[in-house]
Structure 1
Amino acid sequence: MAGGKELEMQLEREAKAFQTIQKEIQKNHQLRQQFKTQLGENELVKTELDILDDESNVYKLIGPVLVKQDLVEAKANVDKRIEYISGETKRLDGALKDLERKASEKRQEVMKMQQRLQDLRSQAAK
C-alpha cells in the first residue's frame, strides 16, 4: 500500500487547502458585513443631510474637534463614501463567488481522494 501513503499525504494537503479557502470565505463574509453596516450608516447620514436646507450648519468630527463644513462638501463626501463602499461590496461579492466555486471543487477532490483511499484500504484488507 505504498500508493496509499502518498494518497493520504495528498489528501491531507487538499484538505488543508480546502480549510484555507473556508477561512477566506469567512473573512469575506465578515468584511461584507462591515461594509454593509458602514453603507447603512452613510445612507442614514445622507438622508439627514438631504433634509437640511442650504443655510444649515454642518460639522465634521476630526479627532476631538468639531469643524464647520460646507453642506455641499459634506453631501459630496458622503456620496463618495457610499460609492466606494458599494464598489467594495460588489468586489467582495465577486470574490465570494470565486471562493465558493474553488471550495466546491476542493470538496469534490477531497471526497474523491477519500473514496480512492477507502477503496485501496478495502482491497488491501482482502
Structure 2
Amino acid sequence: MNSSSSTALRELWGDLENKANDLSKLQKDIAKNHQVRKKYTIQLGENELVLKELDLLNEDANVYKSIGPVLVKQDLAEANANVRKRIEYISAELKRLDGSLQDLEEKQHSKREAILKVQQRIQSHQARKAKA
C-alpha cells in the first residue's frame, strides 16, 4: 500500500468521525427540542383548562392569581385576556419548535447520507487495498 492511499484513508476516517460528531450533536438538539415541546404542550393543556374554568364563571365571580405565596384578586376579563395571551404565545412557540424540529430532522437525514457515502468510500479503499 502506498502512502497516498494510506493518507486518503486516514482523511476519510477523520471525515467520518467529524460527520458522526455532527450527527450526535443534531440528535441531542432533536432530543432537547422534544423536551421543550413536551413542556409547552403540558402548559398549553393547563392553560386551556384554566380558560374553560374561567368561561364557566359569572361576571361578578372573584378570581385570584397566584403571585409567589400570595393570592391577588384579579378582574375576570383581565384574567381571561391573560390566559388567552399565554395560550397564543405557547401555540406560537410550539409552531416555531415544529419548524425547528423539521429543519433538524432534514439535517440529520443529510448527515446520515453523507456518513453512508464516506463509509462506502472507506470500504472501497479497503477492498482495493486487499486486492493489492
Q: TM-score range by the shorter chain?
A: over 0.9
The correspondence for 1:12, drawn from 6, 17, 22, is 17
Q: Which residue of 1 aligns with 2:46?
A: 41
The correspondence for 1:101, drawn from 103, 106, 120, is 106
SS of corresponding position for 1:59? strand
* 1:27-106 alignment runs, 5 A limit: 27-106=32-111
Shift of 1:60: 0.5
TM-score, structure 1 normalization: 0.98
- Number of equivalenced pairs: 126
Q: Report which of the two structures shows the higher radius of gyration computed on alpha carbons.
A: 2
Q: 1:40-74: per-residue Cα shift (whole Å, max 9, x none)?
A: 00000000000000010000011101000000000
TM-score, structure 2 normalization: 0.94
Q: Percent identity?
A: 56
Shift of 1:125: 1.4
Shift of 1:122: 1.4
- Cα RMSD, aligned residues only: 0.5
SS of corresponding position for 2:108? helix
Shift of 1:117: 0.5
